[in-house]
Amino acid sequence: MRRYCAGNREGSGVKRAQGSEVYSLSRFDTVEARGMTESWDFGRKNMLPVWPEFAVRQFFLAGNFFSHTCPSITAFELPLDGDLLIEHNDRITLVKPGSFCILPAGEDNTLRTGPSGSCRKLSVGICGQLIAPFLAALGFSGGRCRFDLTEPERAYRLVEAMFPLLRRKDPADVAELSGLAIRFLTELRMQQPHCREPLIADAIRIFEFNLGNPIALGTVAAELNLSELKLIRLFKLHLGVTPKAYLIALRMRRAESLLAGSVRPVNEIALSCGYGSARCFSREFRKKHGISPLEFRRRSLTNPVRSDLLNDDE
């Protein structure tokens, strides 16, 4: 099982408790456990392309923290009150009410209370082979993880609608649950400013259609009647990353999905993600995740659900 570390800061020391995370995700009492989780693994077991594996209501007290190592599900954190500090990819991001954070599968993260000293939040975990390309198509790829919402209540209502359906676990609700996940993702995208530079959208589409092929940046720039330098400047200005970094992120997310959701050999996955050899692919994958593709697959198979309930301190 994946390891976690949860604890509470007291004075100058840090009290920690370590162990194997529990994935049964039964319902918790809101007051005593400071949170409630509803989950259902139907979509994962039946290979549905997009599925809301869990929904969480949770309250973080001052100093509480929760760490995840190589989570197998993409999580969305939406603070309702207070604020949340998220450590992810060697960055610290402050997330406040009216904004949300995306924590991709396979990337370590730590959640703790922010300057306000507490945080009440909603979380939803979405899995499936199409989650990575779907996020990329919506523009949620690249270096950013925090985004603002113009009408946060609309997103909150969609998450709240998942709770009773996940609790009921009725196969008759499967289509509605999958639809809620897609509506939730689309709602997040519709509340983002539209990219002012259509050339970036065109470049991203070229990347997406060529994920399985080696492609030179000069070729993409020429297709758009731009110089390489101009294309790089546009990506940095609007997305905060270079075109190369954006393309690598797309390829890595496709690789994560294939490793976790198929039994295809690593060399085949490498070729389908645009790498000429398994060695080059494995080197790039290890650089991003700190583990080999095979180790990522092994952890994904043994850690099917990401729990995000903070244990009570003893």
Tokens of 198: 């259509």
Strand pairing of 74-82 and 64-68?
unpaired
User: Do residues 233 and 241 lie in contact, with contact meaning Cβ atoms separated by under 8 Å?
Assistant: no
What is 3-193's CATH topology? Jelly Rolls (2.60.120)
Q: How many whole angstroms separate alpha carbon 66 and alpha carbon 311?
A: 9
- Whether the predicted pLDDT of 124 surpasses 50: yes
Q: What's the pLDDT at 145?
A: 85
What is 189-215 written as a DSSP string? HHTSPPPS-HHHHHHHHHHHHTTTS--
Q: How many whole angstroms separate alpha carbon 260 and alpha carbon 262?
A: 6
pLDDT digits (tens, 9 = 90+) for 203-244: 988 998 888 888 899 999 999 999 999 999 998 887 778 999
User: Do residues 40 and 163 lie in contact, with contact meaning Cβ atoms separated by under 8 Å?
Assistant: no
Question: What integer is the mean pLDDT of 279-293?
Answer: 91
Question: Could you give the percent of the chain with pLDDT greater than 70?
Answer: 83
User: Do residues 125 and 43 lie in contact, with contact meaning Cβ atoms separated by under 8 Å?
Assistant: no
User: Do residues 43 and 99 lie in contact, with contact meaning Cβ atoms separated by under 8 Å?
Assistant: no
Long-range contacts formed by 94-100: CB under 8 A, 24+ apart: 94/146, 95/146, 97/152, 98/148, 98/149, 98/152, 99/146, 99/147, 99/148, 99/149, 100/76, 100/146, 100/147, 100/149, 100/155, 100/188
Question: What integer is the mean pLDDT of 6-14?
Answer: 38
Q: How many whole angstroms separate alpha carbon 129 and alpha carbon 51?
A: 9
Phi and psi (nearest 5°) for 14? -125, 120
Question: What integer is the mean pLDDT of 126-132?
Answer: 84
Q: What's the pLDDT at 38?
A: 95
Question: What integer is the mean pLDDT of 29-58?
Answer: 80
Question: What integer is the mean pLDDT of 61-81?
Answer: 86
**Confidence at 80, pLDDT banded by 50, 70, 90:** very high
Question: What integer is the mean pLDDT of 90-113?
Answer: 90
Question: What integer is the mean pLDDT of 32-52?
Answer: 83
Of 39 and 7, the one with more pLDDT: 39
Report the candidate in 272, 267, 298 with the shortest Cα–Cα distance to residue 282. 267
User: Do residues 61 and 34 lie in contact, with contact meaning Cβ atoms separated by under 8 Å?
Assistant: yes
User: Do residues 300 and 3 lie in contact, with contact meaning Cβ atoms separated by under 8 Å?
Assistant: no
- Domain spans of the chain, in order of start: 3-193, 198-300
Q: What's the pLDDT at 88?
A: 85
Q: How many whole angstroms separate alpha carbon 138 and alpha carbon 194?
A: 10
Q: What's the pLDDT at 29?
A: 31
Q: What's the pLDDT at 181?
A: 97
pLDDT digits (tens, 9 = 90+) for 179-212: 999 999 999 999 987 655 788 888 988 998 888 8
Lowest-pLDDT choice from 27-31, 161-165, 221-225? 27-31
- Whether the predicted pLDDT of 9 surpasses 70: no
Of 20 and 274, the one with more pLDDT: 274
Tokens of 70: 């190589």
The one-letter amino acid at 67: S
Query: What is the CATH class of 198-300?
Result: mainly alpha
Q: What's the pLDDT at 148?
A: 94
3-class SS at 187? Answer: helix
Q: How many whole angstroms separate alpha carbon 187 and alpha carbon 189?
A: 5
Q: What's the pLDDT at 142?
A: 58
pLDDT digits (tens, 9 = 90+) for 232-280: 999 888 777 899 988 998 898 888 888 887 889 999 999 999 999 999 9
Of 21 and 119, the one with more pLDDT: 119
- Whether the predicted pLDDT of 313 surpasses 60: no
Sign of CA dihedral 260, 262, 268, 274: negative
* Mean per-residue pLDDT over the chain, rounded: 81
